[in-house]
Amino acid sequence: MPESHPNFEVPSQLEAEIDEVITHYPEKRSASLMVLHALQDHFGFLSKEAIEWAAQKLELQPINLYELVTFYPMFHEEPVGTYILKICRTLSCAVNGAHRLHHHVCERLGLDPNSHASQTTPDGRITVEYAECLASCGTAPVMMCNAAFYENVSNEKADDVIEECGNNGDTETENKEDV
């Protein structure tokens, strides 16, 4: 089950955004993914309370949303790192050094380079995980840091991205075509 989030409260601006998105669809249930995205973007993960709140908003049962959270890889039931590094592991990236990159990033952050599972640094700052094809095979290897996307990532470039995660207090990173 998803983790609990005491004192969960949706700020009025976020609620207004969510109400607007729901108007895009003839049936409220269709807005489920967009509502979950909005909540996760704000809170960092989808808690039991967030799912119940969304269910009420969409006039659904919590299970209708929980089954989405457990299916779609982008949703998290428990808190993850402030920064999520996703390293593409599919074929074109793999033959161009994706595993070398994952190994380097994990070693640098003190994580297990041989684990293919999602791992978070003990300070809760950075999560490293493999992702399936990110649709940029021509600039392999590629990785993402939250919403930002990085191409042709050498170990040095990865170090720069990690460095930036260490310096920014903010969860948002700027989109960069190429660091």
Partner 1 sequence: MAQEYRLILQHADEPGYTNDIECYLRHGGYEGLKKALALEPKTLEDGSVKSGPEQIRDEVRTSGVRGRGGAGFPAARKWGFINHNSGKPIYLICNADESEPGTFKDRQIIYKDPHQMLEGTIIACYANNVHLAYIYIRGEFHEGAEILNRAIREAKEKNFIGKNIQGSGYDLELYLHRGAGAYICGEETGLLESLEGKRPYPRIKPPYFPAAYGLYMCPTIVNNVETLCCLKHVMLMGGAEYAKLGTPNNTGTRIVCVSGTVKRPGYYEVEVGKVTIRELIHDFAGGLPEGRSLQAVIPGGSSAKVFRAGEKFQIKKKAGDGQETVEMDLEDLPYDFDTVVEAGSMSGSGAVMVLDDSVDMIEAIANIAEFYAHESCGQCTPCREGSLWLKKALQRLAHGRGRKEDADYILRIADNIPNGRTICAFGEATAWPVQSTVRKFREVFEARGAEDEARRARETEGAGGVGKEMDVAASSQP
Q: Do strands 143-145 and 148-150 pair parallel, antiparallel, or not at all (unpaired)?
A: antiparallel
Helix (H) or strand (E) holding 149: strand 148-150
Please report whether residue 175 would count as binding partner 1 according to CB under 8 A: yes
Please report whether residue 20 would count as binding partner 1 according to CB under 8 A: no
Please report whether residue 14 would count as binding partner 1 according to CB under 8 A: no
Considering only 14, 68, 80, 179, the residue that binds partner 1 (CB under 8 A) is 68
Please report whether residue 71 would count as binding partner 1 according to CB under 8 A: yes
Please report whether residue 171 would count as binding partner 1 according to CB under 8 A: no
Considering only 4, 9, 63, 72, the residue that binds partner 1 (CB under 8 A) is 72
Q: What share of the chain is helix, strand, coil (3-state, %, to 5)?
A: 40, 10, 45
C-alpha 160/C-alpha 162 separation (Å) is 5
C-alpha 166/C-alpha 9 separation (Å) is 28
Please report whether residue 87 would count as binding partner 1 according to CB under 8 A: no
Annotate each residue in 126-145 with x if it binds partner 1 (CB under 8 A) or - if it does not, as one string. Answer: -----xxxxxxxxxx---x-
Considering only 6, 11, 26, 122, the residue that binds partner 1 (CB under 8 A) is 26
Closest C-alpha among 108, 130, 110 to residue 121: 110
Considering only 3, 78, 91, 178, the residue that binds partner 1 (CB under 8 A) is 91
Please report whether residue 156 would count as binding partner 1 according to CB under 8 A: no
C-alpha 132/C-alpha 143 separation (Å) is 11
Q: Tell me how crowded residue 71 is: count the other CB atoms within 10 A of its CB.
A: 8
Residue ranges that bind partner 1, judged by CB under 8 A: 24-27, 29-34, 36-37, 58, 60, 64, 67-68, 71-75, 86, 89-92, 94-96, 131-140, 144, 147, 149, 175
